């Protein structure tokens, strides 16, 4: 089924946000990285500009830069209004205020679209979606998933989440997912049964607190490792 862009809320995050959301060290940024459901994040463009090796995959890459930018401009006012109408749900330690959030999202989108216009046809941006990734086993050292899995618990089944995480672990030796809250700021009920499956399958799992928090209470990521996961 083709994606309908009018159903998408294209919010992207920056390299600095990724570093804080996923507690990424300088050495980890030098590893082979796949960003799953990156959308219009500037993470890819910024990291590649520093010499990093990263591929982003998202179904939104079906569309051109102008279309994505137009959709972002169509939803930004409504999203910021929703944020301002729920003041007790947010922590402003990073963005400072709703105005700061708007500014940072606009900057990330601009950096993304500038790069995407040039590199859309390159291997840096791949159109695709969970729970099936068009990559080889062990192609990446680190897989990152920002603001998709667990956040949309009410939209996707537990089975989808389990299949998606196992698929990420097929292509990457280590997987990190942020945040662990749903859109309603509740700890996703999928996490505990998923952890049991992963542990039974021999993976190392760890819930870690990170320094990034926007949703109140949303300052944890899930880290899943194979026993042999190492960085060079």
Determine contact, residues 207/222, Cβ cutoff 8 Å.
yes
For residue 149, the surrounding DSSP H or E stretch is: none
Q: How many whole angstroms separate alpha carbon 177 and alpha carbon 87?
A: 25
Q: What is the pTM of this model?
A: 0.93
Cα–Cα distances (Å) from 129 to 72, 126, 167, in that order, read 20, 9, 11
Q: Which CATH class is domain 5-225?
A: alpha beta
d(CA 48, CA 212): 22
User: pLDDT category, 2, cuts 50, 70, 90?
Assistant: very low
Interval 168-205: pLDDT, tens: 999 999 999 999 999 999 999 999 999 999 999 999 99
Q: What gap in Å lies between CA 41 and CA 12, rounded to an integer?
A: 4
Residues in Cβ contact with 74 at an 8 Å cutoff, skipping those fewer than 6 apart: none
| Mean pLDDT for the stretch of residues 139-143 | 98
DSSP 214: S
Residue-wise over 172-181: b if at least 16 C-beta within 10 A, else e? bbbbbbbbbb
- pLDDT tens for 7-54 read 557 789 999 999 999 999 999 999 999 999 999 999 999 999 999 999
Q: Tens of pLDDT along 90-134?
A: 999 999 999 999 999 999 999 999 999 999 999 999 999 999 999
Distance in angstroms (rounded) separating the CA atoms of residues 59 and 57 = 7
Cβ(94)–Cβ(213) below 8 Å: yes
Q: What is the pLDDT of residue 61?
A: 96
Mean pLDDT of 206-218: 97
């Amino acid at each position: 089924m083709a994606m309908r862009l009018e159903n998408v809320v294209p919010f992207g995050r920056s390299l600095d946000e990724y570093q804080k959301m996923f507690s990424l060290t300088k050495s980890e940024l030098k590893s082979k990285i796949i960003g799953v459901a990156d959308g219009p994040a500037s993470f890819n463009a910024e990291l590649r500009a520093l010499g990093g090796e990263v591929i982003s995959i998202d179904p939104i890459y079906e569309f051109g830069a102008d279309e994505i930018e137009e959709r972002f401009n169509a939803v930004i006012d409504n999203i910021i209004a929703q944020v301002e109408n729920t003041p007790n749900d947010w922590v402003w330690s990073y963005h400072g205020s709703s105005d700061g959030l708007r500014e940072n999202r606009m900057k990330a989108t601009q950096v993304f679209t500038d790069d995407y216009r040039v590199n859309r046809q390159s291997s840096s941006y791949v159109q695709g979606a969970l729970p099936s990734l068009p990559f080889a086993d062990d192609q990446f050292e680190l897989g990152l998933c920002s603001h998709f899995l667990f956040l949309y618990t009410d939209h996707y089944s537990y089975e989808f989440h389990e299949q998606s995480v196992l698929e990420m672990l097929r292509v990457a030796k280590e997987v990190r997912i942020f945040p662990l809250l749903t859109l309603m700021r509740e700890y996703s009920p999928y996490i505990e049964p998923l952890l049991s499956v992963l542990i039974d399958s021999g993976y190392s799992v760890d819930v870690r607190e990170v320094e990034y928090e926007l949703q109140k209470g949303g300052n944890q990521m899930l880290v899943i490792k194979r026993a042999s996961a190492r960085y060079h």
